[in-house]
Amino acid sequence: MAAINQNNSSIEERIIRVAPVELGIGSRNILKDFVMSMLPKGGDLNFCFNCGACSSGCPASCLAGMDPRKFVRMVSLGMDEEIMACDWVWICTTCERCVHVCPMKVDIPLLVSIIRSQWPKGKRPRGIVDDCERSLKTDTCSTAGISVADWKFIVEDIVDDVRQTQQGFEELKVPMDEKYARLFLTQNSSMPLTEPLEMPPLWKILSLAGADWTYGSKGWAAENFGYLLADDAAWEKILRKKAEVVEQLGCKVLVNTECGHDFLATRQGLEKFKIDHSFEVKSIIEYYADWIRNGRLKVNSDWNSDKKIKFTIQDPCQLVRKSYGDFIADELRFVVKEAVGEENFIDMYPNRSNNYCCGGGGGAILTDFKEERLSYGKIKLDQILETEADYCITPCNNCHSQIMDLSHYYDARFKTIHLWTILCLSMGVLGENERKYLGDDLAMVGLK
């Protein structure tokens, strides 16, 4: 931080207005020096030769008058005040599509994160800041501030209702703090808070697969907004709380359940902060695929052989391009095709690691830049509409919210659903009150 505070003046103190984007205005090179010191070995802004490939494939190009190429050049030219007065760093979702196409592999999302870390604290997006503060204050790590007692009550109340009302699940178990369970499952806080009936389909899948799993009463929340803020202290504190719970229970795998950024924040953070741990971190999509292949999940697409309802998939940037690569994208397609029928699956183009971000990642969905977010997502909307699919399956909570917003805003006809919904539907175990995101064409499928 010494480089950032030289000349007895911090960036925050010097930014008092939006300076004109003009060469030489506000030039300091303080940001560039700091960025270069923060880049990993081998990283160098000077590798950029201004080809523009990053901007050509970035849905955030031109939003807030900025694009990736321009952003790199402005930092390189020492235009500190202009950079620190442009909201583009919060509109960018850090999806890494620019890195994917860059011939020199300049890590622009890392550059964005570094700039975010230096942003004046009082000017950071309140939605992300407030949720991060709630995570830090609760043992559950929940951005919604859900306490241990409330979490236990919600789970017990919902599972009791399933036992009493759904045939075949009278003995359904939802383990809590089960010592030495193999799998420790996380859950996005929006589920128990705003749509608790989205959790039972996941529990049924785990039960039918015979999974050895548990929730924790603490550390279960699948989010880390310290990571989104590029606030290393908050990121590390939240992650250490989670890791400590998993270690204390003796679980072998921390399983991320259809969420994106927390998966990456956990995997990267364990290494970045050198947190001792004896568990792996995996996406539940891996387990869905394995359980189907070995017959533990009796997924069947016969229900759709006559209906021929069409489905497409959103490839979450955090899981695919930024983490597993095409492996998890292929596993996702295997799972969906088994559930809906290969002939009823239509891929977007481009897809897998080259897919476009939906516009909801990187914390964007929690900012006040809604108009920009929906403009960013127009490319994704057009991708979906081109498939003519009836449903878009979104195995990431932020992708789900963003694509649903896009559908409503642009008055599109397709529906947006979670992956666990279509799996339970295909096995005939989706409850009557677990069909919130289904259209009339699927509302009665599998009900007795």
Residues 260 and 319 in one domain: no
As a whole number of angstroms, the distance between CA 123 and CA 223 comes to 22
Residue 308, SS3 per DSSP? coil
pLDDT of residue 23: 36
Residues 281 and 312 in one domain: no
Is 434 domain-assigned?
Answer: no
Residues 200 and 311 in one domain: no
Residues 109 and 167 in one domain: no
Nearest to 86 by CA among 115, 46, 57, 58: 115
Residues 269 and 146 in one domain: yes
Is 242 domain-assigned?
Answer: yes
Is 446 domain-assigned?
Answer: no
Task: Read off the CATH number of the domain in which 394 is found.
Answer: 3.40.50
Crossing angle of helices 200-209 and 148-165, in 10° steps, is: 70
Is 437 domain-assigned?
Answer: no
Residues 268 and 389 in one domain: no
- CB within 8 A of 77, min separation 6: which ones? 23, 27
pLDDT of residue 9: 40
Residues 370 and 392 in one domain: yes
pLDDT in tens, the chain (448 residues): 333 333 434 433 433 333 333 334 444 556 666 666 665 555 566 777 788 999 998 999 999 999 999 998 888 888 888 888 899 999 999 999 998 888 888 888 988 998 999 899 899 999 999 999 999 999 999 999 999 999 999 999 999 999 999 999 999 999 999 999 999 999 999 999 999 999 999 999 999 999 999 999 999 999 999 999 999 999 999 999 999 999 999 999 999 998 789 999 999 999 999 999 999 999 999 999 999 999 999 999 999 999 999 999 999 999 999 999 999 999 999 999 999 999 999 999 999 999 999 999 999 999 999 999 999 999 999 999 999 999 999 999 999 999 999 999 999 999 999 999 999 999 999 999 999 999 999 999 988 7
Residues 232 and 152 in one domain: yes
Domain finish residue from 245, 260, 290:
290
DSSP code at position 322: I
How many domains are there within the chain? 3
- Is residue 272 within 8 A of residue 266, CB to CB? The reply is no
Domain finish residue from 76, 104, 123:
123
- Is residue 138 within 8 A of residue 62, CB to CB? The reply is no
Is 431 domain-assigned?
Answer: no
Integer-rounded Cα Rg, in Å, for the chain is: 22
Task: Read off the CATH number of the domain in which 94 is found.
Answer: 1.10.1060
Residues 148 and 278 in one domain: yes
CA geometry: angle at 264 spanning 46 and 63, to 5°?
A: 55
Is 307 domain-assigned?
Answer: yes
Domain finish residue from 245, 271, 290:
290
- CB within 8 A of 211, min separation 6: which ones? 182, 183, 287, 291
Residues 205 and 229 in one domain: yes
Q: Where are the beta strands (DSSP E) in 290-437?
A: 311-313, 391-393, 415-417
Is 62 domain-assigned?
Answer: yes
Residues 231 and 310 in one domain: no
Sheet-wide strand order for 391-393: 311-313, 391-393, 415-417
Is 432 domain-assigned?
Answer: no
Enumerate the H helices of 253-369 as residue ranges: 261-272, 284-293, 326-340
Residues 206 and 258 in one domain: yes
- Residue-range definition of the domain harbouring residue 156: 129-290
As a whole number of angstroms, the distance between CA 225 and CA 234 comes to 8
Handedness of CA 20, 66, 132, 248 (dihedral sign): negative
